Amino acid sequence: MIIVLKPGISKQQETAVLKEIRSRGYRPHVMRGVARTVIGAIGDELTHRSLETLTTVFPKIVESVMPVQKRYKLVSREAHPANSTVRAREHVIGGKKFHVMAGPCSVESEKQLLKTAVAVKAAGATILRGGAFKPRTSPYEFQGLGEKGLKLLAKARAETGLAVVTELLSETQTEVVAEYADIIQIGARNSQNFQLLIAAAKTGKPILLKRGLSMKIEEWLLAGEYVLANENCNLMFCERGIRTFESYTRNTLDLSAIPIIKKESHCPIVIDPSQAAGRADLVAALCKGAVAMGADALLIEVHPNPAEAWSDGAQQITLDGFANLMRELRPLIHAAGRE
Amino acid sequence: MIIVLKPGISKQQETAVLKEIRSRGYRPHVMRGVARTVIGAIGDELTHRSLETLTTVFPKIVESVMPVQKRYKLVSREAHPANSTVRAREHVIGGKKFHVMAGPCSVESEKQLLKTAVAVKAAGATILRGGAFKPRTSPYEFQGLGEKGLKLLAKARAETGLAVVTELLSETQTEVVAEYADIIQIGARNSQNFQLLIAAAKTGKPILLKRGLSMKIEEWLLAGEYVLANENCNLMFCERGIRTFESYTRNTLDLSAIPIIKKESHCPIVIDPSQAAGRADLVAALCKGAVAMGADALLIEVHPNPAEAWSDGAQQITLDGFANLMRELRPLIHAAGRE
Amino acid sequence: MIIVLKPGISKQQETAVLKEIRSRGYRPHVMRGVARTVIGAIGDELTHRSLETLTTVFPKIVESVMPVQKRYKLVSREAHPANSTVRAREHVIGGKKFHVMAGPCSVESEKQLLKTAVAVKAAGATILRGGAFKPRTSPYEFQGLGEKGLKLLAKARAETGLAVVTELLSETQTEVVAEYADIIQIGARNSQNFQLLIAAAKTGKPILLKRGLSMKIEEWLLAGEYVLANENCNLMFCERGIRTFESYTRNTLDLSAIPIIKKESHCPIVIDPSQAAGRADLVAALCKGAVAMGADALLIEVHPNPAEAWSDGAQQITLDGFANLMRELRPLIHAAGRE
Amino acid sequence: MIIVLKPGISKQQETAVLKEIRSRGYRPHVMRGVARTVIGAIGDELTHRSLETLTTVFPKIVESVMPVQKRYKLVSREAHPANSTVRAREHVIGGKKFHVMAGPCSVESEKQLLKTAVAVKAAGATILRGGAFKPRTSPYEFQGLGEKGLKLLAKARAETGLAVVTELLSETQTEVVAEYADIIQIGARNSQNFQLLIAAAKTGKPILLKRGLSMKIEEWLLAGEYVLANENCNLMFCERGIRTFESYTRNTLDLSAIPIIKKESHCPIVIDPSQAAGRADLVAALCKGAVAMGADALLIEVHPNPAEAWSDGAQQITLDGFANLMRELRPLIHAAGRE
- DSSP assignment of C103-168: E-SB---HHHHHHHHHHHHHHT--EEE-BSS---SSTTS----THHHHHHHHHHHHHH--EEEEE-
Estimate the crossing angle of helix C257-264 against helix C217-229, to 10 degrees: 50
Touching check for A34 and chain C: CB below 8 Å?
yes
pLDDT for res D47: 59
Determine which of D250, D255, D329 to mutate to test the interface with A (most A C-beta atoms within 10 Å): D255
Give CA separation, D100 vs D105, D129, D270, in Å: 15, 10, 9
How do residues C50-103 score in pLDDT, each as one tens digit?
Answer: 787 888 778 888 888 887 778 888 999 988 999 999 999 999 999 999 999 999
Please report which helix (H) or strand (E) contains residue C23, including its range: helix C11-23
CB C205 within 8 A of CB C181: yes
> So what's the pLDDT on residue B49?
65
- pLDDT of B327 over the 70 cut: yes
For chain C, counts of helices (H) and of strands (E): 11, 14
Please judge whether A316 and B56 are an interchain contact, meaning their C-beta atoms are less than 8 angstroms apart.
yes
A244 inside 8 A of chain B by CB: no
Give contacts of B247 with chain C, Cβ < 8 Å.
Answer: 216
**Beta carbons of B56 and A280 less than 8 Å apart:** yes
pLDDT tier for residue B31 given thresholds of 50, 70 and 90: confident
Give just the sign of the alpha carbon dihedral A300, A304, A307, A312: negative
Contact C140 D194 (CB under 8 A): no
Specify the pLDDT at position C114. Answer: 98
> Could you give the CA distance from residue D242 to residue D254 in angstroms, rounded to a whole number?
7
Asked if C192 lies within 8 A of D189 by C-beta distance, the reply is yes
Q: Which residue of A has its CA nearest to C35?
A: A44
Q: Is D244 on the interface with C (CB under 8 A)?
A: no
pTM here is: 0.93
Q: How far apart are CA C141 and CA B214, in angstroms?
A: 33
pLDDT tens, residue order, chain D (339 aa): 888 888 888 889 899 889 988 888 888 888 887 778 888 888 776 655 678 788 877 888 888 888 777 888 899 998 899 999 999 999 999 999 999 999 999 999 999 999 999 999 999 999 999 999 998 888 888 889 999 999 999 999 999 999 999 999 999 999 999 999 999 999 999 999 999 999 999 999 999 999 999 999 999 999 999 999 999 999 999 999 999 999 999 999 999 999 999 999 999 999 999 999 998 999 999 999 999 999 999 999 999 988 778 877 788 999 999 999 999 999 999 999 998
Within 10 A of D7 (CB to CB), how many other CB atoms are there? 12
| φ, ψ for residue A149, nearest 5 deg | -65, -40
For the residues B82-98, what does the mean pLDDT come to? 97
Residues of B in contact with D43 (CB under 8 A): 33-34
Select from B46, B68, B76, B243 the residue whose CB has the most chain D CBs within 10 Å, as the one to mutate to test that interface.
B68
Spell out which residues of chain D touch residue C53, defining contact as CB-CB under 8 Å. 306-309, 313-314
Residue C234 to residue A282: CA distance in whole angstroms: 50
Looking at beta carbons, which residues of chain A come within 8 Å of B168? none
Say how many Å lie between the first and final Cα of chain D, rounded. Answer: 45
The whole-number pLDDT of residue A47 equals 59
What is the count of residue pairs from B and D with beta carbons less than 8 Å apart? 60
Q: Hey, is the C-beta of B255 within 8 angstroms of any chain C C-beta?
A: yes
Whether the predicted pLDDT of B56 surpasses 80: no
Instruction: List chain D residues with CB under 8 Å of A296.
Output: none
Answer whether residue C6 shows pLDDT above 90. Answer: no
Nearest CB among C2, C7, C44 relative to A38 is that of C2
pLDDT at C40 over 90: no
Q: Which residue of C has its CA nearest to B258?
A: C285
For residue B260, the chain C residues in CB contact (below 8 A) are 248-249, 282
- A57 in B contact zone (CB under 8 Å): yes
Beta strands in C235-295 (DSSP E): 235-239, 269-271
pLDDT of res. D239: 98
Q: Are C309 and C316 in contact (CB under 8 A)?
A: yes
Chains that touch D (3 or more CB pairs under 8 A): A, B, C
C67 and chain D: CB distance < 8 Å anywhere? no
Residues of C in contact with B252 (CB under 8 A): 242, 244, 252, 254, 256
Neighbours, chain B (3 or more CB pairs < 8 A)? A, C, D
Average pLDDT, chain B: 93
Digit-coded pLDDT (tens) for C269-304: 999 999 999 989 999 999 999 999 999 999 999 999
Q: Do A194 and B59 touch (CB under 8 A)?
A: no
> Which positions 131-170 of C are in contact with D (Cβ < 8 Å)?
135-140, 169-170
- CB distance A172–B170 less than 8 Å? no
Cα–Cα distances in angstroms (integers) from residue C56 to residues A300, C293, D85, in the given order = 36, 44, 36
Is B288–C293 a contact, with Cβ atoms under 8 angstroms apart? yes
D259 and A285 within 8 Å at the Cβ level: the answer is yes
Please provide the DSSP assignment of C247-262 as one string: -SSSSB--TTHHHHHH
**Nearest-CB residue to B226 (from A20, A139, A230):** A139
C229 with D139: Cβ contact below 8 A: yes
Q: Which of C189, C225, C306 sits opposite D53 (nearest CB)?
A: C306
Q: What is the percent of chain A with per-residue pLDDT over 90, rounded to a whole number?
A: 71
Chain segment A104-114, per-residue pLDDT in tens: 999 999 999 99
The reply to whether B291 touches chain C by the CB within 8 Å rule is yes
C46 in contact with chain D, both atoms CB, cutoff 8 A: yes
Pick from C214, C255, C281: CB nearest B245: C214
Nearest chain B Cα distance for residue A53, angstroms? 5
CA distance A248 to chain D (A): 7
- CB contacts of D253 in chain A (<8 Å) are 255-256
Q: Which of A182-186, B43-47, B104-108 has the lowest mean pLDDT?
A: B43-47
- Tell me which chain C residue has its CA closest to the CA of residue B291: C289
pLDDT at B34 > cutoff 80: no
- B47 to chain D, any CB pair closer than 8 A? The answer is no
Compute the average pLDDT of residues B116-131: 98
Q: Is the pLDDT of residue B106 over 80?
A: yes
Higher pLDDT, B52 or B158: B158
In the prediction, which pLDDT does D159 show? 97
Please tell me if residue A79 touches chain C, with a CB cutoff of 8 Å: no
Give the Cα separation of D154 and D176 in Å (integer). 12
Q: Are the C-beta atoms of residues D258 and A259 closer than 8 Å to each other?
A: no
Count of CB pairs separated by less than 8 Å, A with B? 123
Q: Does C313 touch chain D (CB under 8 A)?
A: yes
Average the pLDDT over C115-120 and give the result. 98
In three-state secondary structure terms, D12 is: helix
How distant is the Cα of B34 from the closest Cα of chain A, in angstroms?
24
| D25 Cα distance to chain centroid | 35
Confidence bin at B218 (pLDDT 50/70/90): very high
Question: If you count residue pairs, one on B and one on C, with CB atoms under 8 Å apart, how many are there?
Answer: 112
Average pLDDT over residues B70-77: 90
Model pLDDT, residue D48: 59
Which residue in chain B has the smallest CA separation from D68? B4
CA-based end-to-end distance of chain B: 45
Closest alpha carbon to B165 in B98, B226, B59, B236: B236
Q: Taking CA atoms, what residue in D is nearest to C219?
A: D137
Q: How confident is the model over A140-177, as pLDDT tens digits?
A: 888 899 999 999 999 999 999 999 999 999 999 999 99
3-class secondary structure per residue, B52-111: CCHHHHCCCCEEEEECCCCCCCCCECCCCCCCCCEEECCEEECCCCCEEEEECCECCCHH
Is any Cβ of chain A less than 8 angstroms from the Cβ of D278? no
- Counting one residue from chain A and one from chain C, the pairs whose CB atoms sit within 8 A come to 60
User: CB contact, 8 Å: C254 with chain D?
Assistant: no
Q: From chain B, pick out residues whose CB is under 8 angstroms from the CB of D247.
A: 247
| pLDDT, averaged across chain A | 93
Of residues C303, C260, C268, the one with CA closest to residue C283: C303
